[in-house]
Amino acid sequence: MHDYSRSLGVAVIKARKELGLTQVKLAEMTGIDSRTIIKIEGCEGNPMLENLYPLIRTLKIDPWEVFYPELKQRDAAFRQLQLLLIGCSEEEIKKILPICQAAFSALKSKETIQI
């Protein structure tokens, strides 16, 4: 079993149960064979993108949970920052990026700077 198989399987089971879906109902909603869902939840195999994409979208799984499980950034402040960025246009993000980079640099510097 690979780490990516485990993180995907755990995320799918958790999200499916939170939504109150059976494996069969999830299969119907996504067009994925229920045996494939069973294998994914069992942390088996290497699912194809055509299966991975509808699962993540239908279950509203945070891709970070699957691809970067070691980060475990689930606190409220992180989510709040994500929501702020989601509400920005591409142009706004381009303008905010250098400000964020400067703030991160200041926070990580050895000198204590109050922001």
Question: pLDDT tens for residues 41-63?
Answer: 999 878 899 999 999 999 988 88
Pair 101, 92: CB distance under 8 Å:
no
Angle, CA 57 vertex, CA 22 and CA 26 arms, to 5°: 15
In a domain, 29, yes or no: yes
The region that residue 86 occupies, defined by phi over 0 for left and psi between -120 and 50 for alpha, beta otherwise, is alpha
Report the domain count for the chain.
2
With CA atoms as reference, report the closest residue to 49 among 68, 66, 73.
66
Mean pLDDT of 98-114: 81
Considering the entire predicted model, what is its pTM? 0.63
Pair 10, 72: CB distance under 8 Å:
no
| 15 and 49 inside one domain | yes
Range of the domain at 7: 3-67
Asked if the model's pLDDT at residue 107 lies above 90, the reply is no
